[in-house]
Structure 1
Amino acid sequence: MDVNRQYNRNQMDYDMDHPNPKLDKMSCNEDRVDSGLDSLKEEEFRNIVEDMESLNMAAAEPTRNDNNEPWKKEVTEDGDTFLHLAIIHEAKEQAIQMINLSRNDPFLNIQNNQRQTPLHLAVIMEQPKVVEKLLVAGCDPLLVDSSGNTALHIACKRGSMLCFAVLTQVCPKHLPSILKAPNYSGHNCLHLASIHGFLSLVESLIGLGADVDAQEQCNGRTALHLAVDLQNPELVKLLVTSGADVNSLTYGGYTPYHLTFGRQNGEIRQQLHDLTAQELRELPESESESEDSDVEAQSEDDEMYDDIHFVGH
């Protein structure tokens, strides 16, 4: 890519959690929303639903908690409990009955083969009422799935406003640690909301105390770097207004302004040019230039010792 001086774009590639196929450098692990579906035939699932409906879950005993209940021990080949299945198949009444009968019970935190708790699945399936019931009953919001995502990470990734509101209001004591926690791709909640362009979530996260200048662990990019790379001027404006550091450097030494080189949005480039410190506007030396310098230095060294003889040569 020609931008007045040689610019090694490979240094600026990174792996982001984004569904847009046009961004071929951005990959993500899809949430498992079919847990329990592929492994169960229709007849088998009907039998499970009948079993759940026949369970002794009388509304008159909402606080009963019996660890010896047989339905708590049933697990499918995917690791799903009856509660997982009830959430997946949107059997909300049965799910809430099981939750009421399992207050502060480890049953609520059982993870399936994808390490998803019922709370993860309730967010994926957009069931804010079930999310609230789970949290109040003692489901742990700090548990992560096989991608390192808490339930709040998933809400930020999917733009689930209602689930996001419940998660942040019902368990405020865990919020600071969740906001700081990166998933296994190195992204925290603010990074995920920024990558997927959910401006209202970004604004809410910053208002809740998320660090606007937190760096993702792969390349050290902040939410502002991500917004520039995604060419999202509204997000850039929001982050700058929220106090994002325009002079923040990635691990490779790039400011958000550097990421505007070779991209079409002139509005973003001009905005960041005016805000970026003058000494940080020039692109850092690329790998190619460093390699050329190393080659030149090596050539000079070779000339210095061209009179060395080895075995008569």
Structure 2
Amino acid sequence: MDIHRTANRGPMDYNLDNMEAKHGKGLPCEDRLDSGVDSLKEEDDLSKVFEDMTVNPTEPGSEEYEPWRAAVTEDGDTLLHLAIIHEATEHAQQMVKLSHNHSFLNIQNHQRQTALHLAVITEQPQLLDRLLKAGADPLLVDNSGNTPLHIACKRGSLACFGVITQNCQRHLTAVLSAYNYSGHNCLHLASINGYISLVESLVWLGADINAQEPCSGRTALHLAVDLQNPTLVRRLLDLGANVNCLNYGGFTPYHLTFGRHNNEIRSQLYDRTAQELRDMPDSESDDSDMEGLSEDEVYDDIKFGK
């Protein structure tokens, strides 16, 4: 059964400069909850499973725990996964309470999603908080290489972002610097999606504002120019982004304004860019020579993996 969560229940971060291109209906492919509930055809059946769970909170080592912890669907989902997906909050909280510091909390389904990933995707910050306090691992990644914080930054969830960062001080440096399999860290994802508040928070928490994508060498400022987002460009500059940083093709953020028509971005970058870095590399062309060229002819590395 494919289950899509489109309702936003908590505070979300939006940037109007980039909204229309980034917020279609439904969830991106990797944010879909493909639960193994084919054997539980109706939600009434799922409720019956939860009702039949036998647990004894006074005896953590007793065998009564084993059946519900061992139950796994054909898609690798545990009963905790299913409870989160179906927002069976009380049952999820009960399982979390009885599994403090237990490996059960970190079981990954066939998409390598943990309970933490699903709590972020379904926008359940209170349950996310309980999971983290019970010992769930915030460093585990799904099949796209995303930690739960990556997903919160990608989706613009301020509530989940706050819960994760407040509960993960010990792991914060590692989480902030981690790249997913598309070569994006949390700051890159927040920048790509135009979430200004998250960009600010990430930098204030210690994220490297000049971190470069491993494949292309683009920084958050390069990405903001690629996306023609003047608000984000301005904020990154205010936060101290390095305008003279070169990507692996030898381009500064200012170079990426050539052939584009947003004069606000261009003027923001021109005076700040070192004079010797204003001309296109290996070219004597002035600005007028670039007029009429398409963006692909000037710079064709502007596709973003999600």
Q: TM-score, length-normalised on structure 1?
A: 0.78
Q: Select the residue among 160, 164, 169 that pairs with 1:163.
A: 160
Q: Is the 8 A contact 1:155 1:164 kept in 2?
A: yes
Amino acid at match of 1:52: F
- How many residue pairs match? The answer is 261
Q: Select the residue among 228, 236, 239 that pairs with 2:233.
A: 236
Q: Deviations over 1:151-208 (max 9, x none)?
A: 0000000001111000000111100011001000000000000000000000000000
Q: Select the residue among 55, 61, 65 that pairs with 2:53.
A: 55
Q: Is the 8 A contact 1:111 1:117 kept in 2?
A: yes
Q: Distance in 2 between matches of 1:209 and 1:174?
A: 12
Structure 1 position 271, deviation (Å): 1.2
Amino acid at match of 1:33: R
Question: 1:290: which partner in 2?
Answer: none
Alignment of 1:34 with 2:33, yes or no, is yes
State, as a whole percentage, how many aligned pairs show the same letter: 61
Q: Distance in 1 between matches of 2:103 and 2:129?
A: 17
Q: Select the residue among 108, 116, 120 that pairs with 1:119.
A: 116
Q: Deviations over 1:16-74 (max 9, x none)?
A: xx99769xxxxx9632432216735533x43232121232357xx38846575201111
Q: Is the 8 A contact 1:66 1:102 kept in 2?
A: no
Alignment of 1:72 with 2:69, yes or no, is yes
Report SS of the residue matched to 2:170.
Answer: helix
Amino acid at match of 2:143: S
Q: Distance in 2 between matches of 1:234 and 1:120?
A: 30
Q: Distance in 2 between matches of 1:258 and 1:221?
A: 12
Change (3 A) 1:208 1:36: same
Alignment of 1:99 with 2:87, yes or no, is no
Q: Select the residue among 274, 279, 283 that pairs with 1:282.
A: 279
Alignment of 1:189 with 2:189, yes or no, is no
Structure number with larger C-alpha Rg: 1
Question: 1:297: which partner in 2?
Answer: none
Q: Distance in 1 between matches of 2:277 and 2:160?
A: 41
Change (3 A) 1:63 1:19: farther
Change (3 A) 1:236 1:21: closer
Q: Select the residue among 43, 46, 56 that pairs with 2:44.
A: 46
Report SS of the residue matched to 1:42.
Answer: coil
Q: TM-score, length-normalised on structure 2?
A: 0.80
Amino acid at match of 2:167: V
Amino acid at match of 2:270: H
Q: Is the 8 A contact 1:99 1:133 kept in 2?
A: yes
Q: Deviations over 1:101-143 (max 9, x none)?
A: 1111111000000000000000000000110111111100000
Q: Distance in 1 between matches of 2:188 and 2:128?
A: 23
Change (3 A) 1:141 1:48: same
